Chain A
């Protein structure tokens, strides 16, 4: 890495690097991908990669975690998105090409895409 010539360089670098350890800091958004055997078989890994790429492309701070099978195998891949104290929203049959719209509308603009939703858990309780 090149030499930092002034304080501005240091600030710019810090901003750029912050994503590198964001997984160890609190973020407002958690995206959970169902990764049981059923999920993986239905393409959950590709969906997760698409999510990671999209987050990186748009420079969004969010935690991406995986969980096992929740029991609704027919609707896999399942992706849950939760922001702050809002409801945890579950989307079903997610494919990689749906990911950009999910990120754009739900994560960035906090607008739930009702037509894809298959379940909700109250944010306060759950």
Chain B
């Protein structure tokens, strides 16, 4: 083993400058520092808005938006001379102060990174780093000091609920699986994340795969008579599949998975099954169908999966985040874990904070934190000059929460009460440039393609709701459409077979509930207040502000703008496709949407 003096953690492989690691290694080699400095490729650190990110330990210096060209300076200044490269440090948007230690950045210090503790801090491909940071101590504790029933008891006491969104108590699920009759039992990890804008599960599978394996192994021990477990991952996540596969291989080699785990009588195997990316396969019964090799369609749930799931055997299916919570609960103790969060929602939740906030990224907060704290303190609030209008949680199955409810605590019940849901953890922030009717239309358009078509209410209902919304956003809506929309929504909600259908009207119902005025503006005044719906807006150049610089003219893809240099330019409405490129390019703010 080599003793290094510094670790450079590189968190982002994606992004504009993929070869940071190569550049870093080459520069370190060139300066003959290879024996002193260790370059570690880690998973996502979550601060996606500022990526690619470098973290230099032991100093804890964080650099944002690093390019390969910055590497020589970083090595020279920080790694050789121990000075901070100020220009790469995080800049506070309001005070413009530079912050160079990552614990001091508001984005991080308001968070409680328990499940994500290893993401971005250890090399996900190294079982050694996982073990060194305390990994597999929960399995060790379980195998040496706890009976299977005691493990289930601990999970029950901890108050852990399903992180896939529905929030079913995990301890109860495990216990029902254990007490159901069958030849054997199965456990499954659901990594078929499909919500637009959500990537919690991917980050966990990529950044800390061993935690998921350890959680599943503990689950298999607790439920008993489980010889096999499956991780269902969508094939669009190649790095997650690769890291999980490597993790399974290494854990099996080390005797932490497979036959006779750590020399005991307990054996458990894990296989990866790749899904083809159908959204409905995130639904548990459809997922199991797909796992068996059938078409991924849900089935009625009068018999629970815990009684008859995969191949007709009792099955405990949990989201990957739920599994990743298990080692944490065992290590902390159920009582300690239950102190985090609210009365009915315990522990933490990972969210993908995306949309119209300054600091988009992957965050983890204790249950019960208010939306305001999440959006303003961690997310840094709206972009300059904008105002937050709504927060959409739960993906296409969730709803929009208006800004006057920002002080709502985030837990399963509070979100459901206002017409949204916890969901798997997507959190999309919308500001005054988002049209809520268009948002509802967008989600229905997504769901129309993803409905499997097995049951009529979902297949036809979504389509009809989408037709009505399309009619409204193109300026052909009538007031009676709103009642019709609501009636169809209620039917789809009640009569659909699975959760995809049952929750699909949520975006419509929640926007109708909170933003009826926007619907009415579209219908009565044929006006889109946010200036989004193309059929209802026109772009005009303001005479008072136009300098005739010609920028809009040059950038217009349809050549719809005419005008002489230094004279007022004009948009030909017949040619204009309302793409908004002229407005984006105008430096004089001379283009108005009405």
Q: Are A66 and B80 in contact (CB under 8 A)?
A: yes
B374 CB, min distance to chain A CBs, angstroms: 27
Q: Are A21 and B129 in contact (CB under 8 A)?
A: yes
B80 CB, min distance to chain A CBs, angstroms: 6
8 Å CB contact of B140 from A1, A7, A20, A64: A7
Which residue on B lies nearest to A62, using beta carbons? Answer: B58
Asked, given contacts A24-B7, A24-B121, A36-B81, whether A18 binds B35 with beta carbons under 8 Å apart, the answer is no
The answer, yes or no, to whether B5 is at the interface (CB within 8 Å) is yes
The answer, yes or no, to whether B384 is at the interface (CB within 8 Å) is no
CA distance A65 to B4 in the complex (A): 10
Q: Are B128 and A35 in contact (CB under 8 A)?
A: no
Cβ–Cβ < 8 Å partners of B131 in chain A: 10, 13-14, 17
CB contact list, B125-159 vs A, under 8 A: 128-129, 131-134, 136-137, 140, 143-144
**Per DSSP, are chain A's interface residues mostly helix, strand or loop, or mixed?**
helix
CB contact list, B225-266 vs A, under 8 A: 253-256, 262-264
Q: Are A19 and B5 in contact (CB under 8 A)?
A: no
Task: Name the residue in A4, A35, A67 with the highest tally of chain B Cβ atoms < 10 Å from its Cβ.
Answer: A4
A28 CB, min distance to chain B CBs, angstroms: 12
Q: Are B58 and A5 in contact (CB under 8 A)?
A: no
8 Å CB contact of A6 from B59, B79, B253, B262: B262
The answer, yes or no, to whether A107 is at the interface (CB within 8 Å) is no
**Chain B interface: which of A50-58, A84-92, A96-104, A116-124?**
A50-58
CA distance A56 to B132 in the complex (A): 16
Q: Are B58 and A63 in contact (CB under 8 A)?
A: yes
Q: Are A68 and B128 in contact (CB under 8 A)?
A: no
B533 CB, min distance to chain A CBs, angstroms: 50
Q: Are A23 and B255 in contact (CB under 8 A)?
A: no
CB contact list, A29-86 vs B, under 8 A: 30, 32, 35-36, 48-49, 52-53, 55-56, 63-68
Q: Are B262 and A7 in contact (CB under 8 A)?
A: yes
Cβ–Cβ < 8 Å partners of A66 in chain B: 5, 79-82
Q: Are A3 and B140 in contact (CB under 8 A)?
A: no
Q: Are B254 and A35 in contact (CB under 8 A)?
A: no
The answer, yes or no, to whether A11 is at the interface (CB within 8 Å) is yes
Asked, given contacts A4-B255, A7-B140, A7-B262, whether A23 binds B128 with beta carbons under 8 Å apart, the answer is no
Which residue on B lies nearest to A67, using beta carbons? Answer: B82
CA distance A18 to B133 in the complex (A): 7
Cβ–Cβ < 8 Å partners of B143 in chain A: 7
8 Å CB contact of B58 from A23, A35, A53, A55: A23
The answer, yes or no, to whether B122 is at the interface (CB within 8 Å) is yes
The answer, yes or no, to whether B36 is at the interface (CB within 8 Å) is yes
Q: Are A3 and B3 in contact (CB under 8 A)?
A: no
Cβ–Cβ < 8 Å partners of B35 in chain A: 49
CA distance A35 to B76 in the complex (A): 11
Q: Are B144 and A7 in contact (CB under 8 A)?
A: yes
CB contact list, B29-63 vs A, under 8 A: 35-36, 38, 57-59
The answer, yes or no, to whether B6 is at the interface (CB within 8 Å) is yes
CA distance A89 to B383 in the complex (A): 47
The answer, yes or no, to whether B1 is at the interface (CB within 8 Å) is yes
Q: Are A68 and B1 in contact (CB under 8 A)?
A: no
Task: Name the residue in A21, A23, A66, A67 with the highest tally of chain B Cβ atoms < 10 Å from its Cβ.
Answer: A21
Q: Are A3 and B144 in contact (CB under 8 A)?
A: no
B55 CB, min distance to chain A CBs, angstroms: 9
Which residue on B lies nearest to A32, using beta carbons? Answer: B82
Q: Give 10 A-B contacts (CB < 8 Å), ordered by A residue.
A: A1-B128, A5-B263, A7-B144, A7-B263, A20-B132, A23-B7, A23-B38, A23-B58, A24-B9, A36-B81
Besides A10-B256, A32-B82, 8 more A-B contacts (Cβ < 8 Å) are A5-B262, A10-B136, A21-B129, A24-B122, A52-B3, A65-B58, A65-B82, A66-B82
**Residue ranges of A at the interface with B (Cβ–Cβ < 8 Å):** 1, 3-7, 9-11, 13-14, 17-21, 23-24, 27, 30, 32, 35-36, 48-49, 52-53, 55-56, 63-68
Q: What are the 3 tightest A-B residue pairs by CB atom distance, in nearest-first order?
A: A56-B3, A17-B132, A63-B58
